[in-house]
Amino acid sequence: MDTFKAISTKLDVREFKSQRVPGDIKRKVLEAARLTGSAMNRQEWRFVLIQDRADLKKLAADSRTGKWVEGADFAIIILVDPKVFAHMIDAGRVLQDMELAAWNFGVASGIYMGVDEGALRKDFAIPEALMFTAVLGFGYPKRKILGKKDRKPLEEIAFSEKFGQKFTAKDFS
Ligand SMILES: Cc1cc2nc3c(=O)[nH]c(=O)nc-3n(C[C@H](O)[C@H](O)[C@H](O)COP(=O)(O)O)c2cc1C
């Protein structure tokens, strides 16, 4: 899929079909993570792939804002080292690359950050030195994705030459 098309059609999905995602797609999602660039190439991120149904259930029980993950085909916990410069930017880049790599194969995803951290750490053996950032849940979408996004207009969020200065037709000629 063309990259811009992937970005412009990808929506957050929280309901998934029971159809399994093939293993080679899961591997490609993790490869996309591995290949992402990080600040000073530190690659401090760590990922936990969850695909066992009982573990997905546990993941849902440990969440506050992502109970829907129970219905995902698989999930990935994203961890970073908080001592590393720009770790949150690293986390954002890597999770977006994973989501787009999956969407390229028609595999949808959603994200959540709200968890009972103590329970999550205990259930998934997350080391104290690593910071939890988010969980991504993946699967084939239950409903057809129509691609309609609720987003602010470009003129509200981006400017020409100076903050606050509107674009003109010349800017994009
Ligand atoms: C940093 C971040 C945290 C989010 N946390 C949650 C969350 O805890 N639970 C959830 O269901 N969705 C969460 N979302 C999903 C957003 O609600 C979603 O990306 C936004 O509403 C746009 O959705 P759309 O792309 O489908 O239009 C989060 C998204 C981001 C980027």
Per-chain mean pLDDT for the chain: 96
Residue 134 CA to residue 54 CA, distance in Å, equals 20
Region 50-73: mean pLDDT is 98
Q: Which residue has the higher pLDDT, 148 or 86?
A: 86
Q: Kindly tell me if the per-residue pLDDT of 147 is higher than 90.
A: no
Residues above pLDDT 90, as percent of the chain: 95
Assign domain 3-172 to its CATH superfamily.
NADH Oxidase (3.40.109.10)
Give the CA distances from residue 101 to residues 21, 29, 160, 170, in Å, rounded to whole numbers and listed in that order. Answer: 13, 6, 31, 34
Residue 59 φ then ψ, to 5°: -60, -45
Confidence tier at 4 by pLDDT (50, 70, 90): very high
Query: Which ranges of the chain would DSSP assign to H, the alpha helix?
Result: 3-9, 23-35, 53-61, 87-103, 117-123, 154-157
Q: Kindly tell me if the per-residue pLDDT of 165 is higher than 90.
A: yes
Q: Kindly tell me if the per-residue pLDDT of 146 is higher than 90.
A: no
Domain boundaries, the chain: 3-172
What was the pLDDT predicted at 156? 95
Give residue 172 CA to ligand 1 midpoint distance, Å: 31
Residue nearest atom 31 in ligand 1 by C-alpha distance: 111
To the question of pTM greater than 0.75 for the whole model, the response is yes
Identify the three-state secondary structure at position 112: strand
Ligand 1 mutation pick, 12, 59, 100, 149, max ligand atoms within 8 A of CB: 12
Q: What is the DSSP letter of 113?
A: -
What was the pLDDT predicted at 148? 84
Region 51-67: mean pLDDT is 98
